[in-house]
């Protein structure tokens, strides 16, 4: 019987389901895997933590064996840039960890044997043109763009990747409780594919915190395009799901 992978969470879920279906078809494994999806564009972990029944109900409805959970990115963006005050990145990450823990606790209470996988996104695309502010600050647009190119990209990528540390900590904590929560990082997949070729995405990849994800694989500054998601999910499918199912 085919095992069901439920793609669940924010807008990256839309790409995840496309990419996973592509990978399942590419490797002729439709008899082994079925892909389902429930996503809410722009959703935050905070929302699902406040409604902890939603993910368990989705698992019950789809009879999922795996949950590919994509949450945290919108929380990070929205917490950092609240209208009334700024919150430090490390504080934002602590809130995300708290909310994800609530979601996972509720999930494992009802479905103790389900396996949850998170990969924590890939790096953002090039937003230099978006933040040049040349129309608002024509005298300083070049300076702002240069500052972002040399310092901003590194800072954004660093704190984006720090979300992965949160996911790894959660994976370790839930493993100690006997649950299957796995973190499989895909950081730098799109950078690596551009430089080393799309067929080289096995095992570890090389990347630079000084570079964004390449425009070739991005739909906008935040989301990968269809080809980008095909590469991300092919890497996850071949290196994780196929191995997990044969173990």
All structural domains of the chain with their residue ranges: 3-123+161-205+222-246
Q: Determine the pLDDT at residue 195.
A: 93
- What CATH number has the domain spanning 3-123+161-205+222-246? 3.40.50.1110
Question: What Rg, from alpha-carbon coordinates, does the chain have?
Answer: 18
Nearest to residue 190, comparing CAs of 245, 106, 119, 102? Answer: 119
Give the distance between the most distant pair of CA atoms in the chain: 64
Q: Determine the pLDDT at residue 85.
A: 61
Nearest to residue 101, comparing CAs of 169, 186, 44, 12? Answer: 169
Q: DSSP per residue over 170-195, as a string?
A: HHHHHHHTT-EEEE---TTHHHHHHH
Q: Determine the pLDDT at residue 136.
A: 52
Query: For residues 216 and 190, what is the distance between their CA atoms, to the nearest angstrom?
Result: 9
> Token pair for residue 209?
């915190």
Q: Determine the pLDDT at residue 6.
A: 96
Query: For residues 163 and 158, what is the distance between their CA atoms, to the nearest angstrom?
Result: 9
Bridge partner list, 172: none
Nearest to residue 23, comparing CAs of 239, 198, 233? Answer: 233
- pLDDT-flagged residues of the chain (< 70): 39, 41, 80-86, 128-152, 247
Q: What would the pLDDT profile of 107-159 be if each residue is shown by its tens digit? A: 999 999 999 999 999 999 887 665 554 555 556 556 656 666 666 678 888 88
Contact 10, 43 (CB under 8 A): yes
> What secondary structure letter does DSSP report for 118?
E
On whether the pTM is more than 0.85, the answer is yes
């Amino acid at each position: 019987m085919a095992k069901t992978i439920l793609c669940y969470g924010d807008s990256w879920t839309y790409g995840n389901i496309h990419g996973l279906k592509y990978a399942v078809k590419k490797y002729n494994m439709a008899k082994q895997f079925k892909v389902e999806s429930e996503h809410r564009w722009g959703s935050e972990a905070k929302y699902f933590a406040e409604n902890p029944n939603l993910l368990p109900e989705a698992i019950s409805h789809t009879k999922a064996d795996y949950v590919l959970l994509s949450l945290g990115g919108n929380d990070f963006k929205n917490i950092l840039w609240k209208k009334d005050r700024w919150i430090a990145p490390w504080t934002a990450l602590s809130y995300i960890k708290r909310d994800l823990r609530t979601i996972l606790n509720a999930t494992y209470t009802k479905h103790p044997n389900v396996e949850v996988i998170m990969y924590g996104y890939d790096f953002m695309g090039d937003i230099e043109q978006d933040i040049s502010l040349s129309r608002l600050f024509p005298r300083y647009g070049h300076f702002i763009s240069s500052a972002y190119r040399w310092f901003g990209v590194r800072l954004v990528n660093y704190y984006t990747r720090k979300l992965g540390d949160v996911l790894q900590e959660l994976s370790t904590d839930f493993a100690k409780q006997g649950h299957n929560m796995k973190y499989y990082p895909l950081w730098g997949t799109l950078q690596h594919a551009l430089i080393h070729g799309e067929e080289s995405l096995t095992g570890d990849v090389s990347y630079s915190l000084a570079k964004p994800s390449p425009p070739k694989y991005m739909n906008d500054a935040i989301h990968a395009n269809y080809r980008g998601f095909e590469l991300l999910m092919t890497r996850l499918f071949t290196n994780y799901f196929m191995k997990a199912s044969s173990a």
